[in-house]
């Protein structure tokens, strides 16, 4: 019963942070809270236009993605917040590629809406989750907008 009470509280907290600037301490607490609720390996990824490849991404764009990989359940939970880009966005994904290259989509997410936020959980092959956990630096998250940044407005590479 306690889990059922705390889950909405944490989700409300995460949603209330969407329009605020997130400092590293707050972000770390969000990652830890999400991991406690769902189990799995958490990641926090800062998103910028400068990181987009081949570029250019949106020079003013920024954001954060908090994801939790749960290989045992075959799921990835995500919470993405973006700002200073065209909203609503048209796509958000995990791609496979090194930091200096674009790559194909391997995990689709719901694109951030007119508030700049999206969250949810997607079913993913446990072998892909294992590959991401073993070599996160080979994967990145990006968010796409129209009309200017269909190839990606902001991007962030996962890391160990």
The domain segmentation of the chain, as residue ranges, is 2-157
Tell me the C-alpha distance between 41 and 7, whole Å: 18
Percent of residues, the chain, with pLDDT higher than 70? 76
pLDDT digits (tens, 9 = 90+) for 35-89: 455 579 999 999 999 999 998 999 999 999 999 999 999 999 999 999 999 999 9
Label the pairing between strands 91-96 and 139-144.
antiparallel
């Amino acid at each position: 019963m306690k889990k059922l009470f705390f889950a909405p509280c944490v989700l409300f907290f995460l949603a209330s942070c969407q329009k605020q600037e997130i400092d590293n301490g707050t972000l770390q607490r969000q990652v830890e809270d999400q991991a406690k609720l769902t189990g799995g390996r958490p990641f926090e990824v800062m998103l910028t236009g400068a990181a987009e490849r081949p570029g250019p991404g949106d020079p003013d764009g920024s954001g954060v993605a908090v994801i939790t990989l749960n290989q045992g359940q075959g799921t990835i939970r995500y919470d993405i917040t973006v700002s200073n880009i065209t909203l609503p966005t048209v796509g958000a994904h995990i791609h496979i590629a090194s930091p200096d290259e674009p790559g194909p989509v391997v995990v689709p997410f719901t694109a951030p809406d007119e508030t700049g936020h999206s969250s949810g959980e997607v079913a993913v092959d446990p072998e892909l989750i294992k590959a991401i956990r073993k070599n996160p630096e080979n994967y990145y998250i990006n968010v796409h907008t129209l009309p200017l940044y269909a190839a990606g407005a902001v991007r962030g590479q996962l890391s160990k």
